[in-house]
Amino acid sequence: MTKLSVNINKIATLRNSRGGDTPNVVQFAKDVQRFGAQGVTVHPRPDERHITYQDTRDLKPIVYTEFNVEGNPIKSFMDLVLEVKPTQVTLVPDAVDAITSNAGWNTIKHKEFLTEVISEFKTNGIRTSIFVDPVLDMVEGAKTTGTDRIELYTESFAHQYSMGNMEAIKPFVKAAELSNEIGLGVNAGHDLSLDNIKFFKDHIPGLLEVSIGHALISESLYLGIENVVQMYLQKLK
């Protein structure tokens, strides 16, 4: 079964919009795990506009499933990850002012940098994953950095799928097949939803984990978080 990691950034966004501590991100992380999620994902950005660095520290003791921390490996982020030591760190090349992640790494251009960063994390026992587009050269480049996994950036699939283009899955299938061949684990995330997750999962060989936040939280406004987590788990079987 493909594991479901729930990205709880949007819970922090809601909290921060009012001030105070409601909804409480730690309690929410406890709840989604209790409802069956096999992981919790956070993406603390330098401006801390949603998940804060302190949230990441507070979550560490209560995440008993897999704790995945995403971000651009600037010094402050690296220091945080090395302090918290999550199960997995996912490296994302987002600009400081990016609204959301919008591209994968150029693993060839940034090979030396990524290799150095990944070596530091792996020395500290942290599994590493690199956010990449479904481009075979980038998958091969990821392998040379020493990463354990890649995370396929799925926005283009989700957009095309919503317009009825089933062919949009093909580059992701090829990227996953190559990853399996060269010994890289495959994760995926970005704009995956209840509408497209089963189709995606059924076509991607060896899909280990999906990280879903915006869609899952939005769907929960109508259907309830416990129900939505169960719906995702059913589709990921």
Per-residue pLDDT at 103: 77
Per-residue pLDDT band at 36 (split at 50, 70, 90): very high
Per-residue pLDDT at 25: 98
3-235 has which fold? TIM Barrel (3.20.20)
CA distances 204 to 43, 97, 234, Å, are: 25, 32, 17
Per-residue pLDDT at 133: 96
The one catalytic residue among 50, 66, 70, 219 = 70
State the pTM of this model.
Answer: 0.95
The one catalytic residue among 50, 190, 209, 219 = 190
Has 190 been annotated as catalytic? yes
pLDDT of 80-131, one tens digit each? 999 999 999 999 997 655 545 567 899 999 999 999 999 999 999 999 999 9
- Which residues of the chain form beta strands (DSSP E)? 3-7, 39-42, 66-71, 88-91, 127-132, 149-153, 185-189, 207-212
Res. 235: pLDDT tops 90 = yes
% of the chain at pLDDT higher than 70: 97
**Average pLDDT of the chain?**
96
The one catalytic residue among 43, 50, 66, 151 = 43
Has 159 been annotated as catalytic? no
Has 209 been annotated as catalytic? no
